[in-house]
Amino acid sequence: MKKIKIGMLGIGNIGQGTYRTLEMSRARIEEATGLNLEITKILNRHPERDRGIDIPREKYVTDIHEIIDDPEIDIVVELIGGIEPATTFMADALRAGKHVVTANKAAIAANGELLQKIAHENHLMLRFEASVAGGIPILNAVTTALISNEFSEVQGILNGTTNYILTKMTENRQAYADALRDAQAKGFAETDPTADVEGIDAANKLSILISLLFGIGVAPDQIPTRGITTVTSEDISFAREFGYRIKLLGSARAKDGEVTCNVEPSLVPEDHPLANVNNEFNAVYVTGNAVDKLMFYGRGAGPLPTGSAVMGDIISIARKIEKNAAYDLLPHLRYDAGLSFAGEGKNPYYIRVTAPDHPGVLGQITSTFGVYGVGIRTMMQRAVASHSDTVPLIFIVYAIEKNILSTALDVLVGNGSVLRVDNVLRVLDF
């Protein structure tokens, strides 16, 4: 049985998940592939720490060169996370003739083009299935089975932490802060949840998807991004009355030579398949010109689901090593399809404002909307307690550029017909 030796960088959650996936499925893997895979060395900068996993200590090394310079190692698996030193380690491994597998969304979003170029020049493979949506094999699908499709759209629930929080806010009518605490207690959110709740993690993943699906590079910090911290239980209730759920979506569309995208809390129609994606689960919904609509649902994080994706990449490379075919004729990440990036484009929006409760206000609002071309699709005015002199108004408006909408709302606040803009959220067209 052909032996493939693997050097692993990092032995945190995902490293342990990968190690455990290999060990628990070793018989299945050998039966299905005829390959004997062995993780021979693990870069562990803190070998004294108890990782709670039974790994022979002689596998641990503290110097990256013990892996990169080992001629017996075929594949280097980078599971450190973060842009550096991970990028440098991966580049060095490729230059040393090792195939590279990574779960690192930040490094691939930032340096995927460079790393892929080095892999290509050295006739090696670079794979990163686990970097987007954890265990869901979306990258493999769009680069192989779906390769004959031109994609026009992707909508993704790409972050499990925020989806868990929004699910709890919806099911338990919890406030954001309470749901966040719950998520932290359950291990679904980190002590510093910024990268998740502000949408940064989702933007990294969306950047990778855009390059794979559309062939244009849009850096994560170019993607208009908004997190979930301003979503309130009022918004969730009102959205529900209109027949929507609120999800943090990473979205991108290619149309007429332009790509638009954003990461934003969005109203999803309740009969849309994305509406039933709850708790810590992720989903990616794509539209291709032949396959039409397709959704992949599963666990976007967690040691074993992520380990499943990492092992899938390792086995894919190992099978090709055995056939002397472990190289890509053309790269998967593309940046040269001739599309231009056009910001977030036009979208329908949900708008919640507080207005003075006196006659004529609704007329002022709708006529100002008319001046700016903001078309109202549905509108709701709620009866309020008799002692209140303000009233909440909710509008869903047709697709419009957000800066025009913002200008219209500024005018309304300026002339007093709106006291406060409580929230503006994107609406997913079905």
Catalytic residues: 205
Query: What is the spatial distance between Cα 296 and Cα 388, in angstroms, rounded to a whole number?
Result: 47
Which CB sits closer to its own copies, 166 or 351?
166
Binding to its own copies, residues 126-145 (CB under 8 A)? 129, 135-137, 140-141, 144-145
On whether the CB atoms of residues 298 and 133 are closer than 8 A, the answer is yes
User: According to the annotation, is 190 in a ligand binding site?
Assistant: yes
Q: Is residue 10 near its own copies by the rule CB under 8 A?
A: no
- Considering only the stretches 16-24, 189-197, 383-391, 395-403, report the one whose residues sit in contact with its own copies under the rule CB under 8 A: 16-24
User: According to the annotation, is 171 in a ligand binding site?
Assistant: no
Query: What is the spatial distance between Cα 105 and Cα 112, in angstroms, rounded to a whole number?
Result: 9
Q: Is residue 217 near its own copies by the rule CB under 8 A?
A: no
Kindly state the smallest distance separating residue 146's Cβ from its own copies, in Å: 6
Query: What is the spatial distance between Cα 53 and Cα 56, in angstroms, rounded to a whole number?
Result: 10
**Per the omega criterion (within 30 degrees of 0), is the bond before 85 cis?**
yes
Which CB sits closer to its own copies, 127 or 226?
127
- Closest residue by Cα to residue 165 from 91, 74, 256, 230: 230
The residue within the footprint of its own copies, chosen from 8, 14, 22, 239 (CB under 8 A), is: 22
Q: Is residue 163 near its own copies by the rule CB under 8 A?
A: no
Q: Label each residue of 104-173 as H, E or C.
A: CHHHHHHHHHHHHHHHHHCCCCEECHHHCCCCCCHHHHHHCCCCCCCEEEEEEECCHHHHHHHHHHHHHC
Query: What is the spatial distance between Cα 388 and Cα 83, in angstroms, rounded to a whole number?
Result: 52
- Closest residue by Cα to residue 416 from 349, 368, 350: 368
How many chain residues are in contact with its own copies, going by CB under 8 A?
A: 67
Query: What is the spatial distance between Cα 163 and Cα 145, in angstroms, rounded to a whole number?
Result: 28
Query: What is the spatial distance between Cα 184 and Cα 180, in angstroms, rounded to a whole number?
Result: 6
On whether the CB atoms of residues 203 and 223 are closer than 8 A, the answer is yes
On whether the CB atoms of residues 282 and 136 are closer than 8 A, the answer is yes
- Closest residue by Cα to residue 188 from 298, 302, 276: 302
Which CB sits closer to its own copies, 296 or 398?
296
The residue within the footprint of its own copies, chosen from 308, 347, 368, 417 (CB under 8 A), is: 308
The residue within the footprint of its own copies, chosen from 292, 371, 385, 430 (CB under 8 A), is: 292
Number of C-alpha atoms within 13 angstroms, CB side, residue 164? Answer: 25
The residue within the footprint of its own copies, chosen from 14, 29, 126, 165 (CB under 8 A), is: 29
Q: Is residue 413 near its own copies by the rule CB under 8 A?
A: no
Q: In the stretch 102-131, what mask flags binding to its own copies with x, by CB under 8 A?
A: ---------------------------x--
- Residues sharing a CB contact under 8 Å with residue 119, sequence separation 6 or more, in sequence order: 94, 99, 100, 125, 126, 328
Q: Is residue 75 near its own copies by the rule CB under 8 A?
A: no
Kindly state the smallest distance separating residue 286's Cβ from its own copies, in Å: 9
Tell me the one-letter amino acid at 79.
Answer: L
Which CB sits closer to its own copies, 148 or 386?
148
SS3 of residue 207 by DSSP = helix
CA angle 190, 202, 98 (to 5 degrees): 90
- Residues sharing a CB contact under 8 Å with residue 32, sequence separation 6 or more, in sequence order: none
Query: What is the spatial distance between Cα 318 and Cα 132, in angstroms, rounded to a whole number?
Result: 21
Q: Is residue 34 near its own copies by the rule CB under 8 A?
A: yes
- Considering only the stretches 7-15, 93-101, 294-302, 401-409, report the one whose residues sit in contact with its own copies under the rule CB under 8 A: 294-302
On whether the CB atoms of residues 301 and 160 are closer than 8 A, the answer is yes
Q: Is residue 309 near its own copies by the rule CB under 8 A?
A: yes
Which CB sits closer to its own copies, 138 or 180?
138
Q: In the stretch 251-290, what mask flags binding to its own copies with x, by CB under 8 A?
A: --------------------xxx-xxxx--x------xxx
CA angle 268, 274, 277 (to 5 degrees): 115
SS3 of residue 30 by DSSP = helix
Q: Is residue 209 near its own copies by the rule CB under 8 A?
A: no
Which CB sits closer to its own copies, 137 or 193?
137
Which CB sits closer to its own copies, 31 or 48?
31
Which CB sits closer to its own copies, 15 or 227?
15
The residue within the footprint of its own copies, chosen from 220, 300, 312, 392 (CB under 8 A), is: 312
Residue 320 tokens, joined: 């090709």
Kindly state the smallest distance separating residue 249's Cβ from its own copies, in Å: 16
By the criterion CB under 8 A, which residues form the site for its own copies? Answer: 17, 21-22, 24-25, 28-29, 31-34, 129, 135-137, 140-141, 144-150, 215, 271-273, 275-278, 281, 288-299, 302, 304-305, 307-309, 311-313, 315-316, 319-320, 322-325, 327, 329-330, 334, 337
Which residues participate in the annotated binding site for L-homoserine? 190
